[in-house]
Structure 1
Amino acid sequence: MPATAKASIFHRVTGVALFFALTFVIWAWSESLSSAEGFEFVKGLFSGFIAKFIAWGTISVLAYHLIGGIRHIIMDMGHWEELESGNFSAKVAMALGVVASVLAGVWIWF
């Protein structure tokens, strides 16, 4: 499968994952703003591995989806439509997504 197809499919998959991840984000935000006890509950929840993993996944998905979206917008403006430049931009977008994911992991766990 060409890199352009992988990048496009991954952009769609991250969009769906982001939709579902936002339910957790919106719930945590709502709970933390409801009261001081709610804030402490969410704060305590985020000290656990599972919550950190969900946060890391959400940030990683958001980062790649943003990078892929910017790539698609640039392509909509008529750039990177040739095979060589399209493949290169897809590989760069995926590499930037990996870098963003690693940076998010370092930020959350260290």
Structure 2
Amino acid sequence: MPATAKASIFHRVTGVALFFALTFVIWAWSESLSSAEGFEFVKGLFSGFIAKFIAWGTISVLAYHLIGGIRHIIMDMGHWEELESGNFSAKVALALGVVAAILAGVWIWF
């Protein structure tokens, strides 16, 4: 499968994942703002592996979706539409997504 197809499909998949991840984000935000006890509850949740993994996944998905979205906007302006430049921009977007996921993991777990 060409890099352009992978980048485009992954951009769509991350959009769907963000839709579902926002339920966790909105719930955690609402709970943490409801009271001091709610804040402490959410803070305690984020000391566990599962919540950290969900947060890492959400941040990683958001980062790639942002990178892919910027790539698509640039393409809508008429740039990177040729085969060679399109493949290169897709590979760069995928690589930046991996870097963003690694940085998010370092930020959350270390």
Q: Same fold (TM over 0.5)?
A: yes
Q: Structure 2 unaligned segments of length 5 or more: list them.
A: none
* Aligned equivalents of 1:68, 1:3: Cα separation in 2: 12
Q: Write the distance in 1 (CA, Å) between the matches of 2:17 and 2:37.
A: 29
TM-score, normalised on structure 1? 1.00
- TM-score, normalisation: structure 2: 1.00
Q: How far does residue 92 in structure 1 lie from its aligned partner after superposition?
A: 0.0
How far is 1:93 from its partner? 0.1
2 CA distance for matches of 1:88 and 1:22? 31
Identity %: 97
SS state of the match for residue 81, structure 1?
coil
Query: How far is the alpha carbon of 1:68 from its aligned partner?
Result: 0.1
SS in 1 for 2:80: coil
1:58-86: CA deviations, max 9, x gaps? 00000000000000000000000000000
What is the aligned-residue RMSD (CA, Å)?
0.2
**Count of residues in Structure 1 that have an aligned counterpart in Structure 2:** 110
Cα offset, 1:12, TM superposition: 0.0
